[in-house]
Chains A and B, each alone.
Chain A
């Protein structure tokens, strides 16, 4: 009787800690047999939650080496010279394609990654890896318009508002993204390699770019913040940054209804990885609803994980921000950039030079 009383107290004490959410989700469990093994991760800097790696080490009884890089090119250079021993890398879309073509990636083993079912379907099968043979999404974001709410009190929902705005506008110096948006209007594939279509997109942008004061490398948000432009085409993260910095509602981010560019960073396994099995296990771990949610709650990028979103593990503040998580109908219209090959690359490069020259006339 006394024992039962104690048990009751313990249960009562623990009860508030166990919420409905936790009940609904089984914590991720590591498959047997990896005890004592080692996994080496090569990821972008500041791109993981504090407890992601320690939790994995504990769950599988493994040791993780963690190394960071600052650009796709830097990572690519390291792997090209011969993989120094990494099992997991996080390349962006176009880089996945390039690495796959150069035989620098090992195909994923989907048998080992049941949590692939958690990924948002629209983010699977992107043009750079149509069958997800080599990559699964890690985090993602968009290119859209950052604008001054004072100038656009009713918001922006179409690229036409950007083209027709009577005031200074900054474009993003990302040739494939900008030409891709023009291709959307012209009814062409955003990644087209056709010379005439690329010329048409160039002419379309020159025609619509009369209000463009600068084609900014990566500081459109600064121009917006200083009031030098009313609209800046930028990455969502950059516009969010100035909104957080000022803690005000002066700036907003929108993805026009016609569609825009989506960037996806991916989990991949580089060639000659010492432990590809454990790498597949790690990818499955990252795609777990709770793990993915914790990750997003920490780094504030959009999670590709449908289960994380639906389970309610992701903070409301992040989830309800359309700048981070665009609504499904917008996600369906986003296009990813692929590597178009040397010939189209030169056409795009030439078109972009001509555009820059003629915008200033």
Chain B
């Protein structure tokens, strides 16, 4: 019996060794302790009541979810649409850029342009966002330039608007779009394009029927990588948005500081997470269909 058991264990051990499941153990432990567990805590807290100083107390209640869909709905909608718009702009700018980079003949040019895309990461994101405040300000660099050239007579109001938030988000997340698309285009075999031409396709058709579908995994990955952090963006709207560019991340942040409302903040986070999850499902689903096709 004992022998049988240890034999069983041995074969199981061997099986696990072969399948590489053991290698995943640290990751699984990590995810459980630092992701699943905190997430469960947030979920539970979101159903609790608010106590003095914003802490969570019994009894359980649904009021924070009610408030989320009632009062906070406008901001939730704004966050989703700003993140969506950011994703579209990043795609429109990033796709040609990624294409440009990966089609350079000389390896060195390719490496340098790629390096330039990553270069901004060397500077702290907060500092780069502060820089946009100086650029977009009423007496900022851009207004100063336009005024001195005579294009405008009055300074443009750019800072503390949704426009400023959009600029900040596109600026901040563009590399996340460019890099996965670059990886896709890099692997793309351009003989397919020749084949498309041979079969009578024009440029547009060759792009839409051949190039785009084959680089779609990169596009989808890029969209997910831009959309997800954009929805929850906090620093960018905080520094650039003012009252008009307020996003859900700012309101969540407020609930956890000073005399906020942790259960409400948790409910807002859960709802936001649901939105992100939904968009991830779209990504996975679309990716599968791409592969299936």
Contact = CB atoms under 8 A, between A and B. Distances in A.
B245 A360 contact: yes
Contact of A357 (B53, B75, B137, B138): B75
Interface in B44-58: 50-54
User: What is the interface of chain A mostly: helix, strand, loop, or mixed?
Assistant: helix
Contacts of A342: 50-53
Interface string B64-79: 0001000110110000
A349 interface: yes
Contact of B71 (A212, A215, A226, A353): A353
Contacts of A227: 137-139
Contacts of A212: 243
Contacts of A361: 74
B243 A168 contact: no
A212 B138 CA distance: 15
B160 A349 contact: no
A273 interface: no
B74 A228 contact: no
B52 A228 contact: no
Contacts of B215: none
B251 interface: yes
Given A214-B242, A342-B51, A357-B71, A226 B251 contact: no
Nearest to B71: A354
Interface stretch (B99-107, B115-123, B254-262): B254-262
A257 interface: no
A120 interface: no
Contacts of A209: 243
Given A345-B259, A349-B259, A357-B246, A214 B72 contact: no
Interface string B217-253: 0000000000000000000000000111110000100
B214 interface: no
B137 A228 contact: yes
B159 A359 contact: no
Interface of A: 168, 209, 212-215, 226-228, 341-342, 345-346, 349-350, 353-354, 356-357, 359-361
Given A168-B157, A360-B246, 13 more contacts: A213-B159, A213-B244, A214-B243, A215-B243, A226-B134, A226-B139, A227-B139, A342-B50, A342-B53, A349-B260, A357-B71, A357-B72, A357-B74
Interface of B: 50-54, 67, 71-72, 74-75, 133-134, 137-140, 157, 159-160, 242-246, 251, 254, 259-261
